Amino acid sequence: MSLFSSAPPATEVRGVWLTTNYGLDWPRNRTNIEMQKKELIEILDKLKKYNFNTVLFQVRGRGEVFYNSKIEPMSTLVAPVGPGGAAFDPLAFVIEECHKRGLVCHAWIVTYPLGTDRHVKSLGSRSLIKKNPSITKQFKKEWFLDPGNPRTDDYLLSIVKEIVTGYDIDGIHFDYIRYPDNRGRFPDDGMYRLYGKGKSRDEWRRDNITRFVVKVYDWVKAEKPWVQVSSSPLGRYRSLGGHGAGWTALETVSQDAGKWMMMGKHDAIYPMMYYKEGLFYPFVDDWLKHSNGRIIVPGLGAYQMIELGWSCRDILNQVDYTRKGDTYGQAYFRTDNVLSDTKGILNELKEYYRYPAKLPPMTWLSDSIPEGPFDLRAEKNEEGVFELSWQANIRERMTYNVYRSEIDTLHTDRAEELIAVGLHETVYHCLPEENDKAYYYYITTSDAYFNESSPCIPAFFFHSEMEK
């Protein structure tokens, strides 16, 4: 029996949530900018090494951010500027470093929560509760933006605009894009009386979240249509035959994420499916029923190996299941639970992800096939490093994929023929094994929507210690 349920796919999202809240994944060092940069580089290098391709970087926590914003204060976790030094913009840095490594970077935004009383007080006059109290509500000793107030949409959209226009981001990813849980009544009576217009409160609340989703999706697509809009809803969309009741996106927290997909107002969802067996598999299938051809990437609870004592096999069974169906990959919460090799998970994923993987094309945004590269050259340079170089008709946000085959036929859907993805330059270097084998090398172009070109005319190269 094979160790794997299926061969590794050539196209697969392999994502991590890189958590900045409390510095859980980053930053560990709170005082030195260079150390903070070094920590990020180490994380990204490891993700690249193990063939991950997507970083969901938490850029907004509870009312504070990890980029240079004119709207909200920089997180106190970001190291202060030293004498005569330049301010550190973590988002700009992580995007640049991701792109160097062929990784995509999505700006992960905590949407409505603003934090506890203690947290809000720590922000002082910089807190939104001080600057714009009319769009906030206190509920169970925590503060929230009020989804029922249309001006909340405008405020959140201003943050999205600041990120999308100011940074070369690959995606906007919403977390906590929902009401708080149902242990009490969120204090929105006044807004409900004003705007409810005959709807039940549950229907009105769902419509409030959906209204914002539509606004933000339409604005992003008008500004930079290739920027993926996604969210991480609760892992169970709705109760199924009595299973999962009590904590679902639709029924508990007014989060109608299936509708967002069916309306075409989301490009992807990464549901937080941090459950096992009967609370996992049927709910994956239910998300797929509402996918509308969009990207479904189950979020796997790697942290549950610590919190609930799950085994590594519990997570790997879920990877196997997602590969059998029509999902597009996996994302893990959190980065450190994977990279620290909790219960041997990273060592196992090294085999599952033994080849690179391309990202799924967003054909509902554009299905035109880009022009392929040309004039591919393969040679050893003066330093003895193997070099591929090629020409291309450069377009906005174009990247390149590198393949090799022992025969002069290429199968772009075979992961074992992929050796690099997401390159931003028209050159590729590596130190291949000196195995006296000859290979055909190919390059393809991927556009901003991850549509892939036909391969270029191959370059043939014989690898041995002999002079070529």
Domain membership flag for residue 359: no
Contact yes or no for 273/288 (Cβ under 8 A): no
Q: Is the pTM of this model over 0.75?
A: yes
Number of domains in the chain: 2
What is the pLDDT, as a whole number, of residue 184?
A: 62
Contact yes or no for 373/392 (Cβ under 8 A): yes
> Does 237 lie in the same domain as 98?
yes
466 confidence band (pLDDT: 50, 70, 90):
very low
Q: Could you tell me where the beta strands, DSSP code E, fall in 155-258?
A: 171-175, 228-231
Residues in the chain: 468
Q: What is the mean pLDDT of residues 214-240?
A: 97
Quick one: DSSP state of residue 156? H
Domain that includes residue 196, residue range: 13-352
- Element containing residue 193 per DSSP (H, E): helix 189-195
What is the pLDDT, as a whole number, of residue 241?
A: 82
pLDDT in tens, 296-316: 999 999 999 999 999 999 999
Complete edge-to-edge strand list for the sheet that includes strand 104-110: 272-273, 299-300, 329-332, 13-18, 54-60, 104-110, 171-175, 228-231, 268-269, 295-296
Domain membership flag for residue 433: yes
Which residues, 6+ apart, have CB-to-CB distance to 226 below 8 Å?
362, 365, 366, 397, 448, 449
Q: What is the mean pLDDT of residues 432-457?
A: 92
The type of residue at 260 is W
Q: What is the mean pLDDT of residues 305-330?
A: 96
pLDDT above 70: percentage of residues in the chain: 97
97 confidence band (pLDDT: 50, 70, 90):
very high
Domain membership flag for residue 333: yes
Residue-averaged pLDDT of the chain: 94
113 confidence band (pLDDT: 50, 70, 90):
very high
What is the pLDDT, as a whole number, of residue 462?
A: 86
> Does 263 lie in the same domain as 406?
no
Domain membership flag for residue 74: yes
What is the CATH number for 149?
3.20.20.80
> Does 156 lie in the same domain as 215?
yes
pLDDT in tens, 273-291: 999 999 999 999 999 999 9
pLDDT in tens, 133-143: 999 999 988 99
What is the pLDDT, as a whole number, of residue 3?
A: 45
CA 342 to chain centre: 21
What is the CATH number for 420?
2.60.40.10
> Does 396 lie in the same domain as 320?
no
Alpha helices per DSSP H over 240-370? 249-253, 257-262, 281-289, 304-307, 312-324, 335-339, 345-352
* Residue 1 pLDDT > 50: no
Q: What is the mean pLDDT of residues 444-450?
A: 98
Which residues, 6+ apart, have CB-to-CB distance to 464 below 8 Å?
434, 435, 436
What is the pLDDT, as a whole number, of residue 465?
A: 62
Q: How many Cα neighbours within 13 Å face the side chain of 68?
A: 11
* Residue 416 pLDDT > 90: yes
Q: What is the mean pLDDT of residues 203-214?
A: 97
Domain membership flag for residue 332: yes
Max avg pLDDT among 80-84, 96-100, 407-411: 96-100
What is the pLDDT, as a whole number, of residue 298?
A: 98
What is the pLDDT, as a whole number, of residue 384?
A: 82
Contact yes or no for 367/293 (Cβ under 8 A): no
Which residues, 6+ apart, have CB-to-CB distance to 428 below 8 Å?
387, 388, 389, 400, 402, 420
What is the pLDDT, as a whole number, of residue 431?
A: 81
Domain membership flag for residue 385: yes
* Residue 468 pLDDT > 50: no
What is the pLDDT, as a whole number, of residue 182?
A: 66
> Does 378 lie in the same domain as 346?
no
pLDDT in tens, 33-72: 999 999 999 999 999 999 999 999 999 999 999 999 999 9
Alpha-carbon distance of 96 to 168, in angstroms, equals 9
